Chains A and B, each alone.
Chain A
Amino acid sequence: MAAVPPWAMLLVAPFVVLNVVVGLVTYITLLERKFAARMQSRIGPYRVGPHGLLQPIADALKLMMKEDIVPAAADRHVFNLAPIVFLIPCMLIFATIPFAPGLGVGDLNIGILFFLAVSSMEIVGLFMAGWGSNNKYALLSAMRAVNQIISYDLPFIFSALVPVILAGSLKLGDIAALQQGSLLHWFIFYPVIGQLAFIMFVVATLAAENRVPFDILEAESELVAGFRVEYSGMKFALIQLGEYAHMIGSSFLGALLFLGAWSGPGPESIGPVWFLLKMVFMFLLVTWIRWSFVRIRADQILALSWKVLLPATLALLLTTAVVVVWRTNGF
């Protein structure tokens, strides 16, 4: 590593990370489909390749070759730009995640703030998609999206700040480093606070990722496919890619904040593998919830956020602060 000049690292690392993310997305969709299928007494994709292993590639090829339709009445520029505007923040969030000590694009000292700020930028893309389609379903969905994401960003941030207070650093590398060593150092095992924060984090993640039971902006039984109802072909693929990238990013964040990132038995060199496995665990947890519940209504989602989740996370955050101060200074 030492032989590589720093400026080259700056080019190579994002390239590698982006490609790995795209690869991850394709195969994590397969994982989700297989997992969901087994949950539903099905077998899922099976025909393309052995046990359907080549299915994601077939899907990607299909989407690339599909006709790209732009509705005549759509706002063409906004419509075309929206998938890209949506995808960029979803990809940017990987910039600050350290995949092992020192292994990452850039472990900023305000890493978590960067992550949270950038990830909520995706609503711009969503709203552009909904507005630009000039479709009533899409418009309703876009309005819901703005409502929901603004409402859930606060609980999401507050629950993510609990580990920050526990670690005393905004730098993701520091937060991860503090959880190394023993299983009990993981923040999820921090008595009471850790578990509560984890549950709230998962709930807020579900909402931020638009997964059932909070998927009102996609809501295909009411709004058909919501903001992406008019998209097809590669643009649809970009939106899909962005969504899954966001999900993977959030899962990485959850694994980093609560599950000790790369800590695990074995030599330190397999740390990234542990991190990846934890990310998959987080992802499957979200998927498991997704395939177990029915969706709730838009107004109920907002009520849940403002009336329950926001006060709860805020209280938890204050409690955490008090506990941390008390444990370090003892009043």
Chain B
Amino acid sequence: MASELATIVPAVIRAMGMTLRNLFRKPITVHYPDKPRTYPDRYRGLLALTYDKETGEENCIGCRLCEYVCPPAVIKVEMLKSEKRNYAKTFSLELYACEFCELCVQVCPTDAIVMMKSFDLATADRREMLLDKDRLHAIGLQHQPSWATGNLLRDMQTPPKAAAPAHAAKPPAAATPAAATVEPAAPGKAEPPTPKPADSTPAKADA
């Protein structure tokens, strides 16, 4: 009994001490709508179509790649054939079913569709989330675009062209200690192809 008390009493005091300690910590609440939160550079938010700044022409060529890749199939595009280039006759995006996976941005060959640093989707009418070309354009003017565009994403993922010599089983423990401090791929610019020969140790054979 006495030994039990000797563990119980300090434990109770410790637990209450923890809550007391947190009482004097600064609350972490963010007054959200009053104080807008800061979005990271790569934020995947609202979608928008981009327009050429000088000519005012849309960048979309109506190629429908985004329509094909969209997992929940929320994008519908009709192509308008033209002489110099093609356009999107209609472009509709059902934002209420969108899952913000960024695959449409990823495949876009002309960087025409981008994501915005905004998540203010709340609306009283579901129909407002059925976005057509004009709305998508307007969204692009309203909000800050995120870093990612199709070309930047693809550049980041593409393995360097120079075929890496397959040097066998590089011991990872002996990896350059400098690797810890090197910061590749600054946001805002694509990852430069690394001059080092890429490590191409074969993936492990999972049982």
What is the interface of chain B mostly: helix, strand, loop, or mixed? helix
CB pair A41–B16 under 8 Å, yes or no, is no
* Residue positions of A touching B, CB distance < 8 A: 35, 37-43, 46, 288-289, 291-293
Determine how close the nearest CB of chain A comes to the CB of B14; give it in whole angstroms.
10
CB pair A288–B29 under 8 Å, yes or no, is no
- Any chain A CB within 8 A of the CB of B7? no
Determine how close the nearest CB of chain A comes to the CB of B71; give it in whole angstroms.
36
Partner-contacting stretch, out of B20-28, B73-81, B106-114:
B20-28
A sample of 18 inter-chain contacts (CB < 8 A) reads A35-B23, A37-B27, A38-B23, A38-B27, A39-B20, A39-B22, A39-B23, A40-B22, A41-B22, A41-B25, A41-B28, A42-B27, A42-B29, A43-B29, A46-B31, A288-B16, A291-B19, A293-B12
Nearest neighbor of B25 in chain A, beta-carbon distance: A41
What separation, in Å, do the CA atoms of A40 and B28 have in the docked complex? 9
CB pair A41–B27 under 8 Å, yes or no, is yes
What is the interface of chain A mostly: helix, strand, loop, or mixed? loop
- Any chain A CB within 8 A of the CB of B15? yes
Nearest neighbor of A289 in chain B, beta-carbon distance: B16
The one of B15, B26, B29 that contacts A292, using a Cβ cutoff of 8 Å: B15
What is the 8 Å Cβ interface bit string for chain B, positions 1-37, against chain A (1 contact, 0 not)? 0000000000010011011101101111101000000
Q: Provide the residues of chain B in CB contact with A42, threshold 8 Å.
A: 27-29
* Contact-size category for B: 10 to 19
Determine how close the nearest CB of chain B comes to the CB of A22; give it in whole angstroms.
28
CB pair B27–A292 under 8 Å, yes or no, is no
CB pair B29–A39 under 8 Å, yes or no, is no
Determine how close the nearest CB of chain B comes to the CB of A316; give it in whole angstroms.
15
Q: Contacts A40-B22, A41-B22; is A293 near B15 (CB within 8 Å)? A: yes
Determine how close the nearest CB of chain A comes to the CB of B26; give it in whole angstroms.
8
Q: Provide the residues of chain B in CB contact with A289, threshold 8 Å.
A: 16
Enumerate the 3 nearest inter-chain pairs by beta-carbon distance, A residue then B residue, closest first: A292-B19, A43-B29, A43-B27
Q: Provide the residues of chain B in CB contact with A43, threshold 8 Å.
A: 27, 29
The one of B19, B25, B26, B31 that contacts A288, using a Cβ cutoff of 8 Å: B19
CB pair B27–A39 under 8 Å, yes or no, is no
Q: Provide the residues of chain B in CB contact with A293, threshold 8 Å.
A: 12, 15
Determine how close the nearest CB of chain B comes to the CB of A294; give it in whole angstroms.
10
What separation, in Å, do the CA atoms of A60 and B19 have in the docked complex? 29
Nearest neighbor of A199 in chain B, beta-carbon distance: B9
What separation, in Å, do the CA atoms of A37 and B25 have in the docked complex? 11
What separation, in Å, do the CA atoms of A302 and B31 have in the docked complex? 44
Q: Provide the residues of chain A in CB contact with B27, threshold 8 Å.
A: 37-38, 41-43
CB pair A292–B16 under 8 Å, yes or no, is yes
Determine how close the nearest CB of chain B comes to the CB of A47; give it in whole angstroms.
9
What separation, in Å, do the CA atoms of A113 and B19 have in the docked complex? 36
What separation, in Å, do the CA atoms of A289 and B13 have in the docked complex? 10
What separation, in Å, do the CA atoms of A289 and B12 have in the docked complex? 9
What separation, in Å, do the CA atoms of A43 and B26 have in the docked complex? 9
What separation, in Å, do the CA atoms of A289 and B22 have in the docked complex? 14
CB pair A288–B20 under 8 Å, yes or no, is yes
What separation, in Å, do the CA atoms of A293 and B28 have in the docked complex? 22
